[in-house]
Amino acid sequence: MCEEAAKSLTEIFTPIDVIREVQKKYPDVKNSTIRCQVIASSPNHPSSKHYTTTHRAFYYLGNGRYRFLKSDDKIIEKEMNLYERWGKTLIKEGAEKRINSLIENLDSILSDFKYREGPDLYFYRRIITEHKSKKLSELLQSNYFIELIYATLVSWDMSSRAAKMKYFDEFKKAIIKNKEVILELSEKKIDKLNKDEFGDVLAKILSIYDKLHVMKSDSRFVSNSKVLHFLLPNLVVPMDRKSTLKFFYENTTESRNKFRDIMNEAHKISKNQIFKNHFDSKWHTTIPKMIDNAIIGFMKNKVYR
Q: Hey, CA dihedral for 162, 163, 168, 173, is it positive or negative? A: positive
Q: What is residue 303's predicted lDDT score, i.e. its pLDDT? A: 63
Instruction: Using the predicted structure, report yes or no on whether residue 173 has a pLDDT greater than 60.
Output: yes
Helices (H) and strands (E) in the chain, counts: 16, 2
Among residues 97, 91, 93, 102, which one has the least CA distance to residue 255? Answer: 91
pTM (global) more than 0.75? no
* Phi, psi (rounded to 5 degrees) for 292: -60, -45
* Phi, psi (rounded to 5 degrees) for 207: -65, -35
Contact by Cβ (8 Å): 37, 29:
no
Q: What is residue 219's predicted lDDT score, i.e. its pLDDT? A: 86
Query: Distance (Å, rounded) from C-alpha 148 to C-alpha 154?
Result: 10
Percent of the chain with pLDDT over 90: 66
Of 31-45, 118-132, 290-304, give the range with the top mean pLDDT. 118-132
Domains in the chain: boundaries: 2-87, 93-304
Angle at 255 between CA 30 and CA 251, to 5 degrees: 145
Find all residues with CB under 8 Å of 151, minimum gap 6, and list them.
123
Query: Distance (Å, rounded) from C-alpha 104 to C-alpha 93?
Result: 18
Which DSSP category does 13 fall into? B
214-220 own/partner pairs: CB under 8 Å, 24+ apart: 214/153, 214/165, 214/166, 214/170, 214/171, 214/174, 214/175, 215/158, 215/163, 215/164, 215/165, 215/166, 216/164, 216/165, 216/166, 217/162, 217/163, 217/164, 219/163, 219/254, 220/254, 220/256
- Residue 96's pLDDT band, with cuts at 50, 70 and 90, is confident
Q: What is residue 209's predicted lDDT score, i.e. its pLDDT? A: 95
Among residues 145, 106, 104, which one has the least CA distance to residue 123? Answer: 145
Q: What is the pLDDT of residues 111-159, one digit of tens each?
A: 999 888 899 999 999 999 999 999 999 999 989 999 999 999 999 988 7
Q: What is the pLDDT of residues 103-112, one digit of tens each?
A: 999 999 999 9
Contact by Cβ (8 Å): 106, 98:
no
* Phi, psi (rounded to 5 degrees) for 134: -145, 160
Query: Distance (Å, rounded) from C-alpha 152 to C-alpha 173?
Result: 17
Query: Distance (Å, rounded) from C-alpha 25 to C-alpha 7?
Result: 14
Q: Work out the average pLDDT over 177-185.
A: 96
Q: Work out the average pLDDT over 202-222.
A: 92
Q: What is the pLDDT of residues 45-93, one digit of tens each?
A: 888 777 665 577 899 888 889 999 887 775 543 333 433 333 344 456 6
Contact by Cβ (8 Å): 233, 182:
no
Q: Work out the average pLDDT over 194-218.
A: 93
Q: Hey, CA dihedral for 125, 131, 136, 142, is it positive or negative? A: negative
